[in-house]
Amino acid sequence: MIQAIVFLPLLAALVAGLGQRAIGPFVSKLVTTGALFASCALSWPIFLSFVAGTGEAGVTPVLHWVSSGALQFDWELRVDTLTSVMLVVITTVSALVHLYSWGYMEEDPDQPRFFAYLSLFTFAMLMLVTANNLVQMFFGWEGVGLASYLLIGFWYKKPSANAAAIKAFVVNRVGDLGFMLGIFGTFLVFGTVSIPEILAAAPGMAGSTISFMGMRLDTMTILCLLLFIGAMGKSAQLGLHTWLPDAMEGPTPVSALIHAATMVTAGVFMVCRLSPMFETAPVALGVVTFVGAATCFFAATVGTTQWDIKRVIAYSTCSQLGYMFFAAGVGAYGAAMFHLFTHAFFKALLFLGAGSVIHAMHHEQDMRYYGGLRKHIPLTYWAMLMGTLAITGVGIAGVAGFAGFYSKDGILEAAFAAGGGGQVAFWVGIFAALLTSFYSWRLVFLTFFGKPRWEQSEHIQHAVHDGHGHGDDAHDDRHHHDAHSDGTAGYHPHESPLNMLIPLGVLSIGAVFAGVVFHHQFIYPEEGMAFWKGSLAFDAHLMHAAHEVPLWVKWMPFTVMAIGLFLAWNSYIRNTSLPAKFVAQFRLLHQFLYNKWYFDELYNFLFVKPAFAIGRFFWKRGDEGTIDRFGPDGAAALVAGGTRLAVRLQSGYVYGYAFVMLLGLVGLASWAMVRFL
């Protein structure tokens, strides 16, 4: 069964990618989507068996892979509780994204290539989460990096898409260098890359030291920090986060897949998979906590100022990943995985809902040109409302709530219970929860409420002047040129097709019920110990303390959610002049946040410009000025000059040749006379 789950997407990718001209777009979409729904159907029984307590961990061999001295390992597919969680997250979201893409990408001429890339992306992530050794994990790790590059730059004729793809690839290479060094160091220390053997031996290495850069340092701290650098790149943590917002240049289904189920969750999964290693390195866990909390805060502040609907959700992803990491940093790995699980549903829902809005608004992504859309696309509105209720953590302690209420509150309670740096992360998380509520409801109010502002959009006006709306509905008589009562002329937003709405409906169910149905298994002390079964380091004492925190701690997330909701309503519904007044009053702060803390500008100054300067130096002075000048170009010039001289000597006249011969004879006779007489 596990072989089919993993390799069906690869088979579908090969069929669609290599046979696209022969089978055409429809069959390519049918094969890839069918393969993903089959993998999804096979994944859920495995997950539910672990939920019911009947699932058994196991390893399925595929083939013998490498045998080189002490380095020996097989290609094996590992299935345990942690894997089963990732299987349902990946295959469910990917299957729904495939179906959604039938409508969203309907007019694109390269549909087979797009669907092949989606399936390849899914296969690489499945390889990563089923890995039983670090090299196999790295294979999947690099596979999702390759697929993300192909998908972010899918519209390769668009310069900004190419630049975003290259940026994602380069930034992830920085993180991957740390991950590779971590793997090398782990093999050096443990003599194996087998994950079970490494985790079994890790406690025995606690307190040992290793020579690193001329110093004696704690072995496990160095290894875990190097591995975490890889997680920072893949999961877009502060410092290596700059690629994530630019990844919005890819098609919206790609954004949903990257942010909800595949690439950005890889780092969280890796830390949880190797949690017994991290438990032996308190300093490394402190770094994980700090970086996670800092990322959570940073991304939330930036999200409050963005106008692009997809970028707001992208920074939301970055912030939510920060929650997952500081949960892992305080030892609440089950809570981190629970938030990863629920986040997959409501974040995919928000991205696909945003895609439905963009579809209705002729590819306009600026929320300043939306307004009043709940009347025109009501199903999309209700779906995004469910996603917003989930991500903001709406719920009542001890009663019921949406998915994010259980998972995010579980993280905050565990951080508070952990004490020390965990309580600092708790307060940072609380403030980020307030900002999350504000920018999430800001998105809803700007998009679906108020008066329509479409007449200001160049995209919409272009569609009106061309006599059509969105390309795939150009013939629809709903796009007429009569003036509407709402003041907009010539454009009428329309609901998305059924193949885009069905995934929204399914994900809405997950956003509403995923938390209340599964929270006991993920984070409750007794049920959690039975559920995880040693697939990660589950601290039952910490989770018990998390459930015993003071009542005000339990109510704090709901309180700040309500404050954020009120601030957004007051600013974008009740008194719409407030945002402009705030910007005028705090212009420098707004500019700082709107420009994303100037990380891109800083990196451009520190790394990009010097790299270009060094490249130009070696190009102009080194390659052209030295190597070409004295090498190929110099030799060629010498040969050409000699050729021209030889051409002048070769006149073609007999008397000329006779004269040269005479000179030669005279010279030879003169030499003989001097030499022998």
Q: What is the DSSP string of 394-461?
A: -EETTTEE-HHHHHHHHHHHHHHHH-THHHHHHHHHHHHHHHHHHHHHHHHHHHHSSS--GGG-HHHH
Counted domains in the chain:
1
CA distance 657 to 606: 68
* Both tokens assigned to 565: 């909701």
User: Is the predicted pLDDT of residue 336 greater than 50, yes or no?
Assistant: yes
User: Is the predicted pLDDT of residue 181 greater than 80, yes or no?
Assistant: yes
> Phi and psi (nearest 5°) for 209?
-125, 160
The burial of 661, by beta-carbon neighbours within 10 Å (0-12 exposed, 13-18 middle, 19 or more buried), is given as exposed
Residue 629 inside a domain? The answer is: no
Strand partners, 216: 211
Looking at residues 59-74, what average pLDDT do you find? 88
Predicted pLDDT of residue 490: 57
% of the chain surpassing 70 pLDDT: 94
Which of 258-267, 292-301, 562-571 shows the lowest per-residue confidence on average (mean pLDDT)?
A: 258-267
Looking at residues 152-173, what average pLDDT do you find? 89
Looking at residues 518-546, what average pLDDT do you find? 91
Residue 171 inside a domain? The answer is: yes
User: Is the predicted pLDDT of residue 482 greater than 60, yes or no?
Assistant: no
Residue 670 inside a domain? The answer is: no
**Three-class secondary structure of residue 295 per DSSP:** helix
Which among 143-152, 398-407, 426-435, 479-488 has the top mean pLDDT?
Answer: 426-435
| Integer CA distances (angstroms), 100 to 9, 73, 77, 354, in order | 17, 39, 29, 12
Residue 95 inside a domain? The answer is: yes
CA distance 152 to 163: 9
Beta strands 215-218; 209-212: pairing state: antiparallel
For all residues of the chain together, what is the average pLDDT?
88
> Which domain range does residue 127 map to?
2-594
pLDDT band of 461, cuts 50, 70, 90: low
User: Is the predicted pLDDT of residue 477 greater than 70, yes or no?
Assistant: no
User: Is the predicted pLDDT of residue 522 greater than 90, yes or no?
Assistant: yes
Predicted pLDDT of residue 463: 60
Residue 116 inside a domain? The answer is: yes
Looking at residues 489-505, what average pLDDT do you find? 84
Looking at residues 280-289, what average pLDDT do you find? 95
* Residues in Cβ contact with 634 at an 8 Å cutoff, skipping those fewer than 6 apart: 628
Looking at residues 72-82, what average pLDDT do you find? 92
User: Is the predicted pLDDT of residue 486 greater than 50, yes or no?
Assistant: no
User: Is the predicted pLDDT of residue 472 greater than 60, yes or no?
Assistant: no
Looking at residues 276-284, what average pLDDT do you find? 94
Q: What's the whole-model pTM score? A: 0.88
Predicted pLDDT of residue 462: 65
Residue 331 inside a domain? The answer is: yes
Residue 611 inside a domain? The answer is: no
Residue 96 inside a domain? The answer is: yes
CA distance 63 to 47: 25
pLDDT band of 653, cuts 50, 70, 90: confident
pLDDT band of 677, cuts 50, 70, 90: low
User: Is the predicted pLDDT of residue 466 greater than 60, yes or no?
Assistant: no
